[in-house]
Structure 1
């Protein structure tokens, strides 16, 4: 049986293939090799995942944030080899998960638009080009963190329209100092900023909110997607909550730039299951 994982820093979603080619789904804490060790991954999964798995696992595909090189991949691979001795293991980046889940065996451009953003050129088998995302200070265009940064900045500077500013203050009754502390002093400021995105969604009929989202997507295309050779001849696919919940704005921006939209999904796990089941049949 196949076990597939899609992991971020806060949550890992697991899927076990079933006899009828559907899946059973579970979740555990996030497994990012920048913040976890092999030992604590083993301890946690032995307690929180293994008791739920009733049948022997033959292959594990793990996709995760933080899997940026062999050293980081080995942190996870060493844990999985202890938990599933004898199973075939593959540990890859969340970006390859985005590519496989949206493009399968076709070539194209795969993008992530969630708390952060990322993109790659994919040839149907591997990532062949990559524009660095650079995080929410230097990059991450189109991400939840950057959308939230714009929203909070406009609110604090008095740029946000008055009617929306009143709504924002009612929903987030924080003082000026609280905002600055959360962004500059606390851990995970990107998640703090991304937490304001639902306000944009709730008020997307307002021209101000709609424009923020469109401009962010325009920046993402210009500074990332347009850097790939032949991007206007390729299908451009998206994974992530921002792409999924703001599809209308995203599709219109793509159309304005003569870009062919591909699959847009919130999460890659179910598509990854189908991808690997199909590949196992073809082998």
Structure 2
């Protein structure tokens, strides 16, 4: 049995192919978000970037941002089906990927902190209760996009401390006009905004940066996790680049809010391979 697993965000897609002997190969392509892209567009991209490396497979498990319902999942399935016509193909949300990677067949609250953010109650098989992320304008608390948005706002409004403003200007050389163009008039502004989040981890010893991250994770906990009924009765887990880079701050905030120390992973992909492999035994 050969298995192809994808963990896709708005920025990039990690693919893990495992052959019948258990040998694995990791492939990376651009982000595939069916909320913004069409099946033919995705198909053409994967035909050139993925198919030459993996031409035959028995099962495909695709997990991605933007798969909020069956309709969006079908956008991805219709792109993959011509490439792998004999394969069983599933398309599920990225939050289900995080849940399966974090908790396998146990219950828990699974959270994503990457380019976007999300949280759900997982019952060991499916997502039982979810909080709508709403994107970086209305929600996505503590996501890379929102952290980047806050940084840029503080930079241009002179809220950021002067020494950090100098570092920020040297690193990114941004102009107000250029940022407004990128955010309001080009595609994938969330990806653009998330590109500024590394500045926080690089300068996390500065009080301004640590405070911005701490307040953001508190916003995430209060506006997402604690909206889940009886949230403190469940184990808490996080996945994603933001979660991984700010692990100590997240652990401290979670404990302060009455949770045990959360389980935090950077990427779900290898844990998903274990989940799907062991599910067949």
Shared fold, TM over 0.5: yes
Does the 8 Å contact 1:233/1:260 carry over to 2? no
Does the 8 Å contact 2:97/2:272 carry over to 1? yes
Does the 8 Å contact 1:234/1:260 carry over to 2? no
Tell me which residue corresponds to 2:24.
23
- Give the Cα–Cα distance (whole angstroms) in 1 for the partners of residues 156 and 41 of structure 2: 41
Q: Which is further off, 204-213 or 87-96? A: 87-96
Count of residue correspondences: 280
Residues 122-181 of structure 1, C-alpha deviation per residue, up to 9 Å, x if partnerless? Answer: 100000111111111111111111111222211212221122122222223223333333
| Deviation of 1:247 (Å) | 0.4
- Give the Cα–Cα distance (whole angstroms) in 1 for the partners of residues 114 and 191 of structure 2: 10
Structure 2 residue 281 is the aligned partner of structure 1 residue 268: no
Q: Which is further off, 207-216 or 229-238? A: 229-238
Tell me which residue corresponds to 2:201.
201
- Give the Cα–Cα distance (whole angstroms) in 2 for the partners of residues 182 and 47 of structure 1: 28
Task: Indicate the SS of the match to 2:141.
Answer: coil
Structure 2 residue 124 is the aligned partner of structure 1 residue 118: no
| Deviation of 1:19 (Å) | 4.5
| Deviation of 1:240 (Å) | 0.8
- Give the Cα–Cα distance (whole angstroms) in 2 for the partners of residues 37 and 81 of structure 1: 14
Task: Indicate the SS of the match to 2:81.
Answer: helix
- Give the Cα–Cα distance (whole angstroms) in 1 for the partners of residues 175 and 52 of structure 2: 46
* TM-score, length-scaled by structure 2: 0.93
* TM-score, length-scaled by structure 1: 0.92
| Deviation of 1:31 (Å) | 2.5
RMSD (Å) for aligned C-alpha atoms? 1.8
| Deviation of 1:68 (Å) | 1.5
Q: Which is further off, 30-39 or 272-281? A: 30-39
| Deviation of 1:185 (Å) | 2.9
Tell me which residue corresponds to 2:212.
212
Tell me which residue corresponds to 1:38.
39
| Deviation of 1:233 (Å) | 1.7
- Give the Cα–Cα distance (whole angstroms) in 2 for the partners of residues 179 and 51 of structure 1: 37
Task: Indicate the SS of the match to 2:205.
Answer: coil
- Give the Cα–Cα distance (whole angstroms) in 2 for the partners of residues 241 and 32 of structure 1: 18
With over 3 angstroms needed to count, the CA separation of the structure-2 counterparts of 1:18 and 1:218, relative to structure 1, is: same
Q: Which is further off, 66-75 or 12-21? A: 12-21
With over 3 angstroms needed to count, the CA separation of the structure-2 counterparts of 1:178 and 1:226, relative to structure 1, is: same
- Give the Cα–Cα distance (whole angstroms) in 2 for the partners of residues 242 and 94 of structure 1: 15
- Give the Cα–Cα distance (whole angstroms) in 2 for the partners of residues 47 and 168 of structure 1: 37
- Give the Cα–Cα distance (whole angstroms) in 2 for the partners of residues 257 and 162 of structure 1: 33
Residues 179-233 of structure 1, C-alpha deviation per residue, up to 9 Å, x if partnerless? Answer: 3333333332222222211111111111111000000000000010001112112
Structure 2 residue 231 is the aligned partner of structure 1 residue 231: yes
Q: Which is further off, 268-277 or 131-140? A: 131-140
| Deviation of 1:23 (Å) | 1.7
Residues 28-54 of structure 1, C-alpha deviation per residue, up to 9 Å, x if partnerless? Answer: 233322333333433333333223236
Structure 1: runs of 5+ lacking an equivalent: none
Task: Indicate the SS of the match to 1:271.
Answer: helix
Structure 2: runs of 5+ lacking an equivalent: none
Tell me which residue corresponds to 2:153.
153
Task: Indicate the SS of the match to 2:35.
Answer: coil
- The runs of at least 4 consecutive aligned structure 1 residues that moved more than 6 Å come to none
Does the 8 Å contact 2:9/2:31 carry over to 1? yes
Residues 230-269 of structure 1, C-alpha deviation per residue, up to 9 Å, x if partnerless? Answer: 2112111111110000001111111111112332112111
